[in-house]
Structure 1
Amino acid sequence: MRKRSVQRVAAIHDLSGFGRASLTTIIPILSSMGVQVCPLPTAILSNHTGGFETFSYVDFTDYMQDYIDGWKKLNLDFDCIYSGFLGSERQIQIISDFIDDFGTEDNMVVVDPVLGDNGTLYSTMTQDHVSKMSRLVEKADIITPNFTEVSLLLGEPYEEKITDHKIKKWLKTLSDMGPEIVVATSVPDQGEGKDTNVVAFDRRSNTYWKIQCRYIPASYPGTGDAYTSVMIGSLLNGDSLPIALDKGVQFITQAIKASYGFDYPKREGVLLEKVLEVLNMPVVIGGYEMLE
């Protein structure tokens, strides 16, 4: 098969007309990293829901299969399938079928199991949603849950702090469900401060990686989408897993620092436009460590 000149990602997420989150974050990041993004919307919103009191919402579920069938007629194939927010249990089944149809031994399936944050389910999610998401996780090569989603997928109580030993055990259990690589974000640090960690398990090498994320007193929607997008772009460009993890942390840290000094509503997300060029600059690697 002829090698493609530009790698291609099917990005299955919601689309918000205003606010930097989901597809409006994923597309510019991956494009800046030399990757073509083919969006498959799960919902279309006037603006994302983080911090906004009102928004219009169009559920795209009834249109997704026709959309996918159009791609089948074009005989499209992808180097990566990347799913995020899925607004209904029915959508989970649609994406499961999509992975069956478009997944191959050579491409990479990444599932961000969007379910909740800060210890609780999102208001639109139910336990049935969690159960069905667990079955979608089984089909992934890589999953990128936040710490809350790790506990939800495992049915474990949410903890304010967690030891390295326990998080390693949890990630191993998630990997046993199917994915070769589990990347957990926003994992509470064992120390006294508010720092968090990205902790990953790679079953292929039986290796655990940890990267500390220094606390910055600001919160922006869409940073999880941005982090996973940088990680995917890095892997598709040939970087190793720990380097891809490190690049994601460094980019998000720089994006938050670049945004923090400006006086604008944080609900609009980080100022991506000011930091996208960083993605093509040399990066000093060394923030990751191997967990024994």
Structure 2
Amino acid sequence: MEHPVLLINDMAGYGKVALAAMIPVMSHMGLNVCNLPTALVSNTLDYGKFEILDTTGYMEHTLKVWEELGFRFDAVSTGFIVSDVQAQLVTDYCLRQAERGVLIFCDPIMGDDGKLYNGMSMETVKNMRKLVSCADYAVPNYTEAALLAGEPYLESPEEGDIRRLIGKLREIGAKSVAVTSVRLQGVDQVYCYDAALDRYFGLPFDCLPVRFPGTGDIFSAVMLGQILKGKDMEESVRKAMTVVRRMIELNLGNEDKYKGILVEACLEVMDS
């Protein structure tokens, strides 16, 4: 029987982000999805006011129980991390899993548009570097890649700048890297390094004039799901880009954008 995929991320009570977005997407792809919440969050952070319950103690005990029960996973995907203690716990776990041949996928959720998200700090950046160190696939946006690499955020980066960021992430320990939401020579694109092929490539897209929280989580879920189904990195990234765009298009009329994409209502876009 196929071993499950473990998603380590936060769970929002109000809004479709993190686990609330990833679980339905990956379940629709036919994957056996399990989850380990890093925090219970009252609502998406975009509202500016929120409550976060740190679940590190629960995580520690749960991982011990799972080890005693012999639970195994084919892949582990990490997202939002609450604290330094939690970052070390997740990193240690991912390192042990990597030694068993488990695929490690890291979305270092920290910020966008050149700045950190609400509630994030430079301590968060340090914590995410630990996780990226054991990632088979790291999927930062451009802001997060610059923070992880300790490089300045450039309004008009060139291809060489992005390759340098990817090089620094690889020095940290990441293998394949997909830098999302980067604008090169006036063109928005996802810029990637595929470790399996030792190849850089960029995939352009037309940026829609709207922002929904959770689109990065959907992107990661689709990309990881495709990789687990045997697709190569470029095909997996292309599929993730297509799905995210179609879901955004279907939700453009939503009055409350802070709630995120209403994922369950548009899962059919993944079938084409």
Aligned to 1:150: 145
Partner Cα separation in structure 2 for residue 274 and residue 132 of structure 1: 35
Structure 2: gaps of 5 or more residues: none
Aligned to 2:264: 273
2:93 matched to 1:93?
A: no
Aligned to 2:113: 118
Query: Could you tell me which amino acid in structure 1 is paired with residue 267 of structure 2?
Result: L
Partner Cα separation in structure 2 for residue 222 and residue 210 of structure 1: 22
How do 1:210-225 and structure 2 match up within 5 A? Answer: 210-225=202-217
- After TM superposition, the score normalised by the length of structure 2 is 0.94
Partner Cα separation in structure 1 for residue 53 and residue 221 of structure 2: 24
Give CA-to-partner distance per residue, 1:88-127, whole Å, 9 cap, x none: 1111001012113333453210111122221122343333
Aligned to 2:26: 30
Task: Give the superposition deviation at 1:275.
Answer: 2.2
Residue among 221, 227, 236 paired with 1:229: 221
Partner Cα separation in structure 2 for residue 202 and residue 263 of structure 1: 36
- After TM superposition, the score normalised by the length of structure 1 is 0.88
Cα RMSD (Å)? 1.6
SS in 1 for 2:180: strand
SS in 1 for 2:161: helix
CA contact (8 A) 2:12 2:40 kept: yes
Structure 1: gaps of 5 or more residues: 282-292
Query: Could you tell me which amino acid in structure 2 is paired with residue 139 of structure 1?
Result: C
When the two structures are aligned, how many residues end up with a matched partner? 272
Aligned to 1:70: 65
SS in 1 for 2:45: coil
Task: Give the superposition deviation at 1:274.
Answer: 3.1
Partner Cα separation in structure 1 for residue 124 and residue 223 of structure 2: 26
CA contact (8 A) 2:17 2:260 kept: yes
Query: Could you tell me which amino acid in structure 1 is paired with residue 39 of structure 2?
Result: A
Deviates more, 1:87-96 or 1:116-125: 116-125
Give CA-to-partner distance per residue, 1:47-78, whole Å, 9 cap, x none: 2212x243332111122101111211221111
Partner Cα separation in structure 2 for residue 95 and residue 166 of structure 1: 30
Partner Cα separation in structure 1 for residue 38 and residue 141 of structure 2: 20
Query: Could you tell me which amino acid in structure 1 is paired with residue 21 of structure 2?
Result: T
Residue identity (%):
33
Aligned to 1:198: 190
CA contact (8 A) 2:12 2:44 kept: yes
Partner Cα separation in structure 1 for residue 251 and residue 127 of structure 2: 37
CA contact (8 A) 1:87 1:124 kept: no
Residue among 33, 49, 55 paired with 1:54: 49
Query: Could you tell me which amino acid in structure 1 is paired with residue 250 of structure 2?
Result: A
